[in-house]
A and B are shown apart, each in its own frame.
Chain A
Amino acid sequence: MPPLQRFVVALAGGLQDSKAQPDPGDFVRLHNFALFRGRFGLRAPVKEIATIGSDSQILDIKAYRDKVWILGWDGSDEVTLYNMDWPGPTADWGTPSVKGVIHTGVTSKPLIRMTPFSGGLEDEPKDRIYIADYNQVEPTKIFQVTSPEATSILKVDFDADPLPVPTAEDVYFSLMIPYQFHLWGTGFYGGTGDFRPEMLRFSQPGLIPNIDPAGGVDFEDNTPASKEWFSFGYRNLGRRGDKIKALSFATGNMMVFQAGSAHALFGYGQDSWAAKQVSDQIGCVGPNAAVQAGAGGMCLFWSHDGPFATDGTQVMSIGEDIKQHVIDLGATDNVSAAYSPDDGVVYFSLVEPLADKDSTDLWPTTYLAYDVEKKRWAEGSWLAGNVTGDPFALQVAVLSTITARDIAAAPGPRDKPQNVVATAYSDKFIQIKWDPGDTATETRTMIHRSTSPTFTPDDTTLIATLDSDYGTTYNDKTGLTEVVTYFYQLQHYRNGTYSASSTETSARTWCAPPVSVTLQPIPDGIRVTVDVLHNLSNVQIWRSPVVGLGHVDTMLAHDPTTPQGVGDYVFDDNGSNITCGIEYHYFVKIHDINDSGGEHPSLAYPDEVNLGEKLRAIACAGEDTTAFAVAAGGNYLRVTQPGKVLYTATCFYTRANVESDMIKMYVDKGGGAGYVGPWKFPCKRAFGAVKFSFTAYCPSQSAMWTVKWESLQNGTKVLNTVYNDAINPCTGAAV
């Protein structure tokens, strides 16, 4: 008996139609296996990860800006946009939430797809999802994605109007794709019977508006038309009316497929776009049937002749080994292709063999998997049975590859604003200070304000948007009212993304100041009158000596419990601590007795400069009635004050403890002419007595004179003294 000998029947291989000379790497049947790293392996299960609303059909799935976006149709009316969280290292998929109803009145099965695009300027990012109906029944819509998403909006109007007229008209793109930082859309629909499905239109780079050389005015502000899409930004491919079926990429080219032709478009801008026909026979069957196998790789697509690949220069059949499967499986617009970078496999979902492939109600239930590196095929189907023992094949509306690359976005703020503090300085002024959480130059700070605690920032709470060079202090002086607590939250904004809100802080505005505070000297002091506006407020009256004497404030009156009511509140400052002849400052604080927010100066303290003369007064009617010695010398009048000395060095007038550097003298010579003067005497020239000299008046002067003097310090009157007795300057006789 000869020994047994080994004969290899099969190696790791792929699906093949039977060949004349079999290869051990071939299988005539390879179901639910796929090539995997040089071997082939049993496929992995599928997993249900989400359901959306009550919709009956998934239209499209895309990854964009940290989310997975889903478009669903309810089977009779609405097309709705959802998104859900991308799974993290430990977290699973999120739960889809509704972002908006895109279309209504959609009664027949649509083929609507999404195209994310990020463009715009640094301070005006345009992170958008364009939603286009392949069949051009529904107008193209734009979903502007912002962060937080609550501020995302669905743009109804679309300024891609191809005509230079000041209107925003609906645009009906069939397909859309970003290429070379331009956004491209196919097809033109100008109304019934006006189709140009072979037309390609392209936007301005990055959707940054520019003045349209074709003229016209902007539909929003009637200025010269600044448009994201120019009127002449289009190209035509192929014969008129030959619909563009699919768009994809191949080795740096944008691939444009019609039913029976393929084109490679390339260039860097409107001056350099060029297209070449790669095939005049092979095209693509539908909008989901073309996919690029890896970044910069070949484009694989399904044509009416089966699967093909192109590098933008030539079209190559990759379906020769599975021709029988191609014929069995057939093709409709429903073919969907997706590339799995992890597996290196392109999946094509196809209508299962022997099904009525002409029916528009059929969905693909079988897949063919093509290993891009090994160039081998496998086939299978995914089961979606919800009852054990009663499985049925998953009916695939769309296959979609989403990668971390799609998720990535320009960096947002590194952190939220820190150490936010709000401080009230009046009834209409709160100051906010913070430390930036992100110091990037493009980072802006949004200040939100509400009268409700723990509020959620949105457009209605936004009061200011500050550039990074604004600083870290903001004076809120708009829209504040007295005795209200305002809550503040700050956010940073960068590259279209908002940070989390800062820790909430608050401040309470002060009571409104009185309309007026008036001072009136009274014989034994000063009367303070306050016009109170706030019905529930009480009043504090504070007094201090004039500037320069230590500025010790004294509270004179304060009833912490009894409101004064609206109107004049009068307080006579005539206590033992007031000294006649001295000038005092007063200021007033208002306090709402129901408010725990503290006391509220009516005027900005200690901003004394702005206190104004009206809050200064000299006690006791401004007069010093102390007797002066007045003597006439024939042609002069001598005024002395017994026991009082003007010191030459210090000019210190001891009586009133008032320091002065100047004395002004006034004389009323009678006859109703009033005081004349002053005659100025710097204290450097002070005497034991002050002497005034007059000339040529005595022989004819008979009226009694009255003398008044003032002491000044730094030009400010600090003491007012009146000599009340009259005297004849020539005779010295008192009247």
Chain B
Amino acid sequence: MSSFILAGAGDSNKIYQIGRIGYDSGAVASFPQDPGETTYYGEFETERMSPAGEDGLVRFRRIVLRALTQGSWEIYMEVFVDDVQTKIWDNDETSSTYGQQINQSITITSKEGTPGGEAIMEADIDATGTFVQVFVRIASEDIQGYFLPESLEAHVQAIRESKSRSTLDVSVAPWAESS
């Protein structure tokens, strides 16, 4: 071990070592959580991305997060299309909103005993709009070892091409590929 970052507290007599990404991450024995077994949350939120251009129309069907992991994991995801969170039908008979559409809170969990490696997490959505924004949250206690997101994709069907941005025919857009 060649270097450390230490933090001295301004309000106590404690000295802390800042763990290193990838080495000390993810509930390893030497670095279980923040002090006091405090869970923290990694969160990211994408820009508003418009697959078919800023005035195109797209049907969003799937959000795929690919990550390099070291063990089991669990993520929480929310998807917003045109600033509106995607909806699902509430099929929980005990819920007060049973039979109604509710915001779609997506939790994806690895299978038990996941050995790690590249994991693909797919969120099934169905919403139509121009742009999409994805919010992902990971609780530090829900991962083992490192958790390195690599790419986040939307799987879409183009309904109407953009007029203002002329090349956004999704079938020929340079950053879009058929799947």
Contact = CB atoms under 8 A, between A and B. Distances in A.
B6 A383 contact: no
A39 B149 contact: yes
A31 B13 contact: no
A676 interface: no
B163 interface: no
User: Which interface residue of B4, B26, B48, B158 has the most chain A CB atoms within 10 A?
Assistant: B4
User: Which interface residue of A6, A48, A51, A59 has the most chain B CB atoms within 10 A?
Assistant: A6
A680 to B, nearest CB: 91
A383 B171 contact: no
Nearest to A18: B47
A108 interface: no
B149 to A, nearest CB: 7
Secondary structure type dominating chain B contacts: strand
User: Which interface residue of B23, B34, B41 has the most chain A CB atoms within 10 A?
Assistant: B34
B132 A9 contact: yes
A383 B15 contact: no
Contacts of B113: none
Contact of B8 (A16, A61, A340, A383): A61
Nearest to A62: B6
A402 to B, nearest CB: 5
A420 interface: no
B154 A399 contact: no
Given A6-B177, A10-B134, A382-B18, A41 B25 contact: yes
B25 A43 contact: yes
A58 B40 contact: no
Interface in B114-139: 132, 134-135, 138
Contact of A342 (B2, B7, B132, B171): B2
B175 A383 contact: no
A22 B22 CA distance: 28
B62 interface: yes
B18 A23 contact: no
A382 B34 contact: yes
Contact of B13 (A46, A52, A334): A52
Given A383-B35, A399-B7, 11 more contacts: A5-B51, A9-B134, A12-B149, A26-B46, A41-B21, A41-B25, A41-B149, A42-B25, A47-B19, A385-B36, A388-B37
Interface of B: 1-27, 30-49, 51, 61-64, 68, 132, 134-135, 138, 140, 143, 146-158, 170-171, 173, 175-179
23 contacts: A1-B157, A5-B155, A5-B177, A5-B178, A7-B170, A7-B173, A9-B49, A33-B43, A45-B25, A46-B19, A46-B31, A46-B34, A48-B14, A51-B15, A61-B15, A93-B17, A340-B18, A395-B11, A397-B7, A399-B5, A399-B6, A400-B5, A401-B5
Interface of A: 1-12, 16, 18-19, 22-24, 26-34, 36-37, 39-61, 68, 70, 72, 87, 89, 93, 96, 334, 338, 340-343, 345, 347, 349, 363-364, 380-388, 391, 394-404
Give 5 nearest A-B pairs by CB, closest first.
A44-B19, A58-B8, A397-B10, A363-B10, A22-B47
